Structure 1
Amino acid sequence: MLSYLYMILTIDTGGTKTLFGLYDKGTLISTIKIKTPKDYNDYLKVVKDIMLNNYDLFSLEAISIAIPGIIKNGKISYCGRLKWHDKDIKAFFASFLSNTPVFIENDASLGALGATREDDFKKGKALYITLSTGIGTGFILNNKIDPISKSLEGGMMVIQYKDKVDQWQAIASGSTISNIYGEIASKISDETSLKEIALRIAVGLRVLIPLLSPDKVYFGGGAGIVFNHAKEQVLKELKDYIPDRITFPEIKTTKDPELVVLRGCYEYAKDRLNREA
């Protein structure tokens, strides 16, 4: 069987920014970052222009695209942060990439795949959480994206934080933290703020860890780095509430929170190409 490892273009579409990454033989060799257009048609036009003007599309073995929403059969079923619904995105790319496979998947699921592959975690359950414009959650079972959890939207679960009841992403997303504290989460360092942020993160984990029982929990996204600063406080908040009968998972930040979804895009495309060869 032919093993695919070569030129793959990856695109991480976020609620705020879109990141392009070109992989050659498994190595990320270049990136381009743009602000994500909010209008769907504007997004398609900008992405197509960048692809045509910056990449030799005939040399690509595949294109792998992450979207922050629910994907069904290559279509965007629901993308709340960008308000894109019922969009046949795969058909658009097929219109000018007739001979190049295009793979489209949820961004948090791909982040989860990237996190476990770079950590060489192959057996067991892993939960990935991205703290960015919203909160995304992905789940890996034995080195593969768990198909049952593809529609998992942990950021939308309704929880209580102090006297507030709201979606978790309205309490602890990167954009929420920036709005409250006046700067991006990765730059916050004072102890009082970090304790508050830790509690905001922990209230969601108190639900997800007993529910999913992961062996590992990975944090990624632009604000994922804040977990390193607040880690000890998060662990304290969790250990006070997680029952002893629940195995406590290893919790860590991905090796490169900003690039982990691109890695997942690459790994997903490689898996699909090898499976379909």
Structure 2
Amino acid sequence: MYIQAVGLPALPTCWEGTVHSVFQNSCNIQAADGPLITVHRFSFGMLPRSLFVPELDTWGLTPGDPVQADGETVRLGRLRLSWAGRVETVSTAVPRLEERPEHWPRAWQMLTQRQRQMEDTAVTRLLYRRLREALTNLWTALKQNEMEWIQSACGSCVGLGQGLTPSGDDMLLGTMATLHMYAPELVPRLAQGIRPFLGRTNDISRSYLELVLDGYAATPVIRAAGSLVGGGTGAVELLLNVGHSSGCDILEGILTAVRQIGMREKGWN
């Protein structure tokens, strides 16, 4: 099986680790120096710090299997992954855009429509009510640069929700990616609010949050946030289809942020 693409930030030439978690279309590696590395066959895009292997078969892999990379191959338990003749390097750094994201209302309609199709229970209604209240409080605190309030709002989001990446984490990820893109001066405020709570969530979600704090996100997230400048809906539709609810939650974080950024430009500091 061949590695055909690498998602930045780049990996060292030689490294080792162990299999952290295994799924049908991907697995995560716990590198010896700390970070998680994803090996996947996702067709929708690239993740930060990942390897794309279109023919990946994770059957038989188990957490704890040894992993070694020597610059020519990656030995992943029973698997031997070789570098293809041409390996694409995909940037997952969130770009800074000068244009304004004015085309968010249509994306919000698409998000609302998709959310209506999702499972609706008393528990999920309570969950999202709490998260939306926390986002509202977060933006009030960001506007006033009240760090204690910012941290309180972030603490109400991190780790809240079920699944591989809890909904609260996904909303914060979408918010942070949007700030990197359209309002980078606010990034330090939100980063300072999130960092104390990273230990509350699981390893995989924490890894994604750490990456977005450093300015990296999956390509579907970057494309959806960037598409709000031009008004196309294809990238938004793609993000909505990522995961069971993760794409929707990330998009809600993105759209809440761009709406608040627009309000900021009309008067708040």
TM-score w.r.t. the length of structure 2 is 0.29
More helix by share: 2
More strand by share: 1
